[in-house]
Amino acid sequence: MGLGNSPNDLEMLKAVDIPVIVPGNKGIHPGLSGKGWQVAPGSQGWAEAVSSYQLSVISYQLSVISYQLSVISYQLSVSSYQEQGKMGKMRELGESV
3-state helix, strand, coil in the chain (%, to 5): 60, 10, 30
**Rounded Cα distance, 53 and 55, in Å:** 5
Q: What is the pLDDT of residues 57-82, one digit of tens each?
A: 889 999 999 999 999 998 888 888 77
Of 36, 18, 31, which is closest to residue 3 (Cα–Cα)?
18
- Helix (H) or strand (E) segment spanning residue 27: none
Contact criterion met (CB below 8 Å) for 77 and 70: no
**Rounded Cα distance, 53 and 61, in Å:** 12
Q: What is the pLDDT of residues 20-55, one digit of tens each?
A: 898 888 888 898 888 889 888 777 777 787 788 888
What is the pTM (predicted TM-score) of this model?
0.51
Give pLDDT, residue 1. 85
Give pLDDT, residue 97. 52
